[in-house]
Structure 1
Amino acid sequence: MSDLHQFQVLRGKGISRGARMSDRWQHLQSSKAGQWLRMDLEMDFDEYALACVFSRALEEIEAGQASATEATGLSRAELRDILTRSFPAKLIDAFFPGEASDPELGTEEGLLRELLLSHARHNDPVSARFAKIIARRALRDDHLWQDLGLLEPAELGRLFAMHFPTLAAGNTNNMRWKKYLYRKLCEAEGFSLCAAPSCQECSDFEACFGPETDGGRC
C-alpha cells in the first residue's frame, strides 16, 4: 500500500467511524493530544481534517510539485510534531524524503495568515496551525474545501466555526470561503474591489454565493 493510499484510508476511516459527527464545536477544556489518531481509535474532526490536508499534500509531494513544508505552510518541526502525535510512524518518512526547508512566507499568504490568526481561538496551538495551513492552501486554484482535501463545503464551514469562530460568525450569507477571506483583507486595508451597492445587486453574485462545485479561485 502506497503512502498516499494509507493517508486516504485514514481519511476514509475517519468518515466511517464518525469523525464528521464527533462533537468538537466547543473548545476543549483538557488536551487530548496524547490520544490523537491511532489506527484502532476513532478520529475526531481535527484529526480527520489533517488527514484530508496531508492526503492532498502528499499528492503534490509525490508529483514533485512541492515539498511537505511548501504544501502545508508548516515548519518541519510542526509537521513532525503533528505526524508523531497523530499518525502511524511509518508515514512520517513519506513527508521527508529529502531535506526540506521551512516554508517561505509571501506577502499574500502573510496577510491571510495574519487575518486567520487574529480570529483563531486564544492560546490554541491547533487553531494556529490550521491558520497556517489554510493560508497556504488558499493560494491553490480550487475551492478552499477542495484545496484542503475535504469532501464537502460544509466541512470547511465546520472547521472555521471550530477554530475561527468570530471570523465564521461574520459570514452570515454563506459566501464562498475564499471570496470571504479576500473580502476581509480588502476591508482591513480600507478599500473594496466591488463597486456594487450590495451583494444582491452585484452582477457577479453567483461567483461569490453560487454552489461550490465548479473550479477556480473562489
Structure 2
Amino acid sequence: MDLEMDFDEHVLACVLSRALEEIEDGEATATEATGLSRAELLDILTRNFPTSLIHGFSLEEVSDPEPGVEEELLLRLLLTHARPGDPTSACFAKIIARRALRDGHLWQELNLSDRSELSRLLATHFPTLAAGNTNNMKWKKYLYHKLCEAEGFSLCTASSCRECDDFNSCFGPEDG
C-alpha cells in the first residue's frame, strides 16, 4: 500500500469536500474554490473519485480561475520548493495558494483535521520550504513571511520574534 498516495487522496478529498460546501452555499465555483482549472479538476476527479461525484462540481458551468497577484506570488513560492517534476506537488501548490487567501487557518481552509496534516502535506510536497519553518510558525504566517523575505522587507517591526508583542499570533496554538 502506498501511504503517501493514500494521504494525498485524503487531502484531495478534504479540499474537494470544502469546495462542494462552497458550491452549495453559492460562495464559489469549483475552480474558484480550488484554484485548479476545469481540466485539472476533471482529471483529479476521474482518477481518484467515483464518477457520480463529478456532477456535483458543475464543471460544465465554470471557467478557469484567474489568480490575482498575491495568489501568483504564493504559487511561485510553493512551486520553487515543490518536488521537481511532480505534478501532484504542482497541483497542491495551486490549491494551497488559493486557499491561503481565505481568512481562517490554512489547515482549516483546506478542510484538514488538524495542523499536523498540513505539516505533513507541506513536508511531503514542499520539503525545503517546510524544513525552513524551524520555529513552528503558523503555516500561513510562515508563507507570507517567506514572501516578504524574498522581497527584502519584514512583516513586523520587532527586532526578533521573542520580543514581539504579537508573538502568539504567529506561534500560538491553531485551535479549530
User: Above 0.5 in TM-score?
Assistant: yes
Partner of 1:28: none
Unaligned runs of 5+ in 1: 1-18, 25-42
* Cα distance in structure 2, aligned partners of 1:167 and 1:91: 33
Unaligned runs of 5+ in 2: none
Residue 61 of structure 1 and its aligned partner are, at CA, apart by: 0.3
Q: Kindly report which structure 2 residues correspond to 1:172-211, keeping only aligned pairs within 5 A, or say none.
A: 172-211=134-173
Residue 97 of structure 1 and its aligned partner are, at CA, apart by: 5.9
The correspondence for 1:115, drawn from 77, 95, 100, is 77
Please identify the structure whose Cα radius of gyration is greater: 1
Higher fraction of helix: 2
Residue 195 of structure 1 and its aligned partner are, at CA, apart by: 1.2
Residue 213 of structure 1 and its aligned partner are, at CA, apart by: 1.4
2:53 paired with 1:91: yes
Output the amino acid matched with 1:211. Answer: P
With the length of structure 2 as denominator, give the TM-score of the two structures: 0.97
2:16 paired with 1:57: no
* Cα distance in structure 1, aligned partners of 2:164 and 2:59: 48
2:93 paired with 1:131: yes
Residue 98 of structure 1 and its aligned partner are, at CA, apart by: 4.6
Question: What number of residue pairs does the alignment pair up?
Answer: 176
The correspondence for 1:171, drawn from 117, 125, 133, is 133
Residue 179 of structure 1 and its aligned partner are, at CA, apart by: 0.2
Structure 1 runs (4+) greater than 6 angstroms displaced: none
Output the amino acid matched with 2:49. Answer: F
Residue 197 of structure 1 and its aligned partner are, at CA, apart by: 1.3
* Cα distance in structure 1, aligned partners of 2:103 and 2:91: 21
Residue identity (%): 72
